[in-house]
Structure 1
Amino acid sequence: MFAKVFTALVAASAVLAAPVESQLEKRIQHDGQATYFEVGLGACGWWNVNEDYIVALNSAQYQRNGGSNCGQGITLTNSANGKKIVVTVADECPTCDDGSLDLSPSAFAALTDGNMDQGVFPISWHFNRKQ
């Protein structure tokens, strides 16, 4: 009897621990570079326009979760000036390094005071908790 109860408790604790671990992973800060791109049909399967606050997640992190970060919110900070916005993962960036993101033009402009000539800037970001 004790063995059955113990096995049930171990199984239940594993199930309960999984969401906590994934939530902690969402809080990890990532650092990289921001660039921008002309948006359209993204790897997540929906259409966007340049005015949307979206990002293409680097392939290393996009593929790590099998594309499950599609639609996930990200809090993104321009490390050079401290400006911060919230964006949504809508695409994959195969040329971006781990931690780097490709931004829609409107998201890029919001973080650079409209200076699109900058082309690239340092960023830090983290996934927002899924509701």
Structure 2
Amino acid sequence: MQNFATVATLLSAIASGAMASPAPFGGDGTFYSPGNDACSKAGHSSSSSDLIAALNVEQFGGHYNGDTDKSQSCYKCAQVKGPKGSVKVQIVDLCPECKHGDLDLSPAAFKTIADPVDGRVPISWTWTSC
């Protein structure tokens, strides 16, 4: 009976919104010229107008040497907040030089959250549904 009460309490907290959402990641936002995506073995290319991002190696996971398309981060979405606003992007690429928390955004995504002249801005982001 105690397990039932614990489950009921947990479900009630979830339904009421009392459960805290995951803390956002923080890092630098930069932008790059998209091309062949690391998440696609078929060599899919993305363009500068797509709302996409490249994720740092540590959070990208998978196998960096060759099997990047097997990363669990591929095709997940992230809600990114910067100085000018926020944008939802899909992870399709890998940023080897980025640190934990950093995202390298497409030019279109970067322009939504910051002035491209800035080049590098502080961001926060969380995983979100696509």
Query: Same fold judged by TM-score > 0.5?
Result: yes
Query: How large is the RMSD of aligned CA atoms in angstroms?
Result: 2.2
Structure 1 distance, partners of 2:112, 2:76, is: 19
Structure 2 distance, partners of 1:58, 1:96, is: 5
Asked which structure has the greater CA Rg, the reply is 1
Match of 1:43 in 2: 38
1:123 maps onto 2:127 in alignment: no
Structure 2 distance, partners of 1:106, 1:40, is: 14
Structure 2 distance, partners of 1:61, 1:101, is: 10
Moved more, 65-74 or 96-105: 65-74
Q: What are the ranges of 5 or more consecutive residues in structure 1 without an aligned counterpart?
A: 1-23
Match of 2:15 in 1: none
Tell me if the contact between 2:26 and 2:122 (Cα under 8 Å) persists in the aligned partners: yes
Tell me if the contact between 2:31 and 2:107 (Cα under 8 Å) persists in the aligned partners: yes
Structure 1 distance, partners of 2:50, 2:60, is: 19
Which of 81, 89, 95 in structure 2 is aligned with 1:77?
81
Match of 1:96 in 2: 98
Structure 2 distance, partners of 1:38, 1:57, is: 14
Structure 2 distance, partners of 1:33, 1:41, is: 23
Kindly report structure 1 stretches of 4+ aligned residues shifted beyond 4 Å.
Answer: none
Structure 2 distance, partners of 1:49, 1:31, is: 25
Structure 1 distance, partners of 2:29, 2:60, is: 16
TM superposition score normalised by structure 1 = 0.71
Structure 1 distance, partners of 2:93, 2:61, is: 11
Q: Which has the higher helix share?
A: 1
Structure 1 distance, partners of 2:47, 2:100, is: 25
Structure 2 distance, partners of 1:129, 1:109, is: 22
Structure 2 distance, partners of 1:92, 1:47, is: 13
Structure 1 distance, partners of 2:62, 2:100, is: 11
